[in-house]
Amino acid sequence: MKLCEFISPASLSEAREALRELGPKGMPLAGGTALHFMNTKTPVTAVDITRLGLSYIRREGDAFAIGATTPLSDLQRHRADGWALHEIARHISTHQVRNVSTIGGNICRIFPWADLPVVLLAMNASMMIYNGSEKEEEVAADDYFAAQPAKRFSGGNLLTAVKVPALKAHQGFGSVKASRNAAAFSLVTVAALLELENGKIKTARVTAGSAIPFPHRLPAVEAALAGREAVPAVFKEAAAKASSDARWCAREGMGADYIKQLAEVSLVDALEKAAAFANGRNK
């Protein structure tokens, strides 16, 4: 992608108006680490949104609010009761890239190898979108990730924040990213949010990405977990049902059958992590 001009608005409303006027010839820019993956040959004007106060992590009631231009390295370093995003953040690309790449840039346009959409979908996050009105629009993860989110921003609207529910007592989260090496794109990314009650799984949200055309939940796996004991045998049985929900794709020279096995093993690992996390959260 070729940038022909660079403007720096002073407010969200000014940024949105500029993007509306520019149309396809304008693009919001924060970290800019994905520019070389965009194949459009039309020169565009970059609308810098890094000076609009959208870089932060703060507790708001029962959730963590994360500003759209917050670098992934901040997610990696942050620690708080009920916070779990640091674990996946440290596995995304290299530390140099994480210092620049932002959470908003990772989820406003989803590439096949993206990790954060998988995690945010499992954690039942919600996305805050500025559309010019006084009150921002809040979009639940199930709706936001139902299709390519880039379509939501074609009219100049802007992602301002991501709200991630803080983990409560007896809730646990686990994620696994399988890749050739630390800096490589994911072969498969899976995530699980479990709520336990007396050793049994009360609720489950299980997701996958990278190895499938677009990240989504795995309802057959979730159904196989509900009401069952949180033990490895149950996790393995549930993971085997993932193919009912997912069409596994060959990745980076690995065949679809290999990716299927890798996904199932990764799901068991993620579920075991989530259960151990939940068992350690008694209050």
User: Tens digit of pLDDT for each residue in 29-78?
Assistant: 888 766 666 666 778 888 999 999 999 999 999 999 999 999 999 999 99
Average pLDDT score over residue span 78-91 = 94
pTM: 0.92
Reported residue count of the chain is: 283
pLDDT grade for 111, boundaries at 50, 70 and 90: confident
- Residue with the larger pLDDT of the pair 252 and 168: 168
Summarize the confidence of residues 107-120 as an average pLDDT: 92
Domain end among 141, 165, 189 = 165
User: What residues make up the domain containing 107?
Assistant: 57-165
Q: What does the pLDDT look like over 168-202, one tens digit per residue? A: 999 999 999 999 887 788 999 999 999 999 999 99
**Cβ count within 10 A of residue 147:** 11
Residues 26 and 62 in one domain: no
Using the 3D structure, point to which of 136, 165, 194 is the last residue of a domain: 165
- Would you state the pLDDT for residue 37? 63
Give me the mean pLDDT over the 156-169 stretch. Answer: 96
How many helices, marked H, and strands, marked E, lie in the chain?
10, 12
* 273 and 179 in a common domain: yes
CA–CA separation, 99 and 168 (whole Å): 29
Q: Are residues 110 and 156 in the same domain?
A: yes
- Provide the pLDDT for residue 38: 66
Question: What is the arithmetic mean of pLDDT over 222-232?
Answer: 97
pLDDT-derived band at 282 (thresholds 50, 70, 90) equals: low
By C-alpha distance, which of 130, 39, 123, 42 is closest to 88?
A: 123
Give the residue from 150, 165, 180 where a domain finishes: 165
CB atoms within 10 A of CB 62: 10
Per DSSP, 167 falls in state P
Question: Within the chain, where are the H helices?
Answer: 12-22, 72-77, 86-89, 95-98, 103-108, 116-122, 141-144, 219-225, 232-239, 256-279
Angle (CA) 161 164 167, round 5°:
160
| Same domain? 175 vs 145 | no
Q: How many folded domains does the chain comprise?
A: 3
What is the overall mean pLDDT for the chain?
92
